[in-house]
Structure 1
Amino acid sequence: MADRLHVHPVNPQSRLIDKAAAVLKAGGLALAPTDAGYALVWGLESKAAEERVQRLRELDSKHPFTLLCRQLSEAGRLARLDDPAFRLMRSLTPGPCTFILPASADLPKRIKNSGRSKRRDIGIRLPDHVVTRALLEAMGEPLLSTSLLLPDETDPASHEAEVVAERWLRWADVMLDAEDCEPGPTSVVDCTGDAPEVVRQGFHPVAL
Structure 2
Amino acid sequence: MAEFIKLYEKNTDQRRIEQIVSCLKDGGIIIYPTDTVYGIGCDIHNTRAVEKVCQIKGIKPNKNNFAIICYDLSHIADYAKVSNSAFKLMKKTLPGPFTFILDGNSNVPKVLAQGKKTVGVRIPDNEITRLIVKELGNPIITTSIKDDDDVIEYSTDPELIFEKFQHQVDIVIDGGYGNNIPSTIVDATTDDFEVIRQGLGDLESFLV
TM-score > 0.5 by shorter chain? yes
Note if contact 1:44-1:144 (Cα within 8 Å) is conserved in structure 2.
yes
Alignment partner, residue 103 of structure 1: 104
Note if contact 2:9-2:127 (Cα within 8 Å) is conserved in structure 1.
yes
Alignment partner, residue 40 of structure 2: 40
Alignment partner, residue 64 of structure 1: 65
Find the aligned partners of 2:191 and 2:17 in 1 and give their Cα distance: 40
Note if contact 2:80-2:102 (Cα within 8 Å) is conserved in structure 1.
yes
Could you say what secondary structure the match of 1:43 adopts?
coil
Q: What does residue range 78-157 of structure 1 map to in structure 2 within 5 Å?
A: 78-112=79-113, 116-117=114-115, 119-149=116-146, 155-157=152-154
Q: 1:206 to 1:10 in 2, by over 3 A?
A: same
Off by >6 Å, runs of 4+ in structure 1: 150-154
Note if contact 2:67-2:120 (Cα within 8 Å) is conserved in structure 1.
yes
Could you list the per-position Cα deviations for residues 57-110 of structure 1 after superposition, in whole angstroms to 9, with x for gaps in the alignment?
221222121110001011011111111111111111001100000112333455
User: What's the RMSD between the two structures over aligned residues?
Assistant: 2.0
2:185 is the alignment partner of 1:188 = yes
Shift of 1:4: 0.5
Find the aligned partners of 2:150 and 2:81 in 1 and give their Cα distance: 33
Find the aligned partners of 2:148 and 2:51 in 1 and give their Cα distance: 15
Find the aligned partners of 1:46 and 1:70 in 2 and give their Cα distance: 18
In structure 1, stretches of 5+ residues that fail to align are none
Alignment partner, residue 55 of structure 1: 55
Q: TM-score, normalised by structure 2?
A: 0.89
Q: Which amino acid aligns with 1:87?
A: K
In structure 2, stretches of 5+ residues that fail to align are none
Could you say what secondary structure the match of 2:160 adopts?
helix
Question: Alignment length, in residue pairs?
Answer: 204
Q: 1:8 to 1:152 in 2, by over 3 A?
A: closer
Note if contact 2:32-2:129 (Cα within 8 Å) is conserved in structure 1.
yes
Could you say what secondary structure the match of 1:37 adopts?
coil
Note if contact 2:85-2:191 (Cα within 8 Å) is conserved in structure 1.
no
Q: 1:136 to 1:153 in 2, by over 3 A?
A: farther
Could you list the per-position Cα deviations for residues 96-130 of structure 1 after superposition, in whole angstroms to 9, with x for gaps in the alignment?
10000011233345543xxx13x310000011101
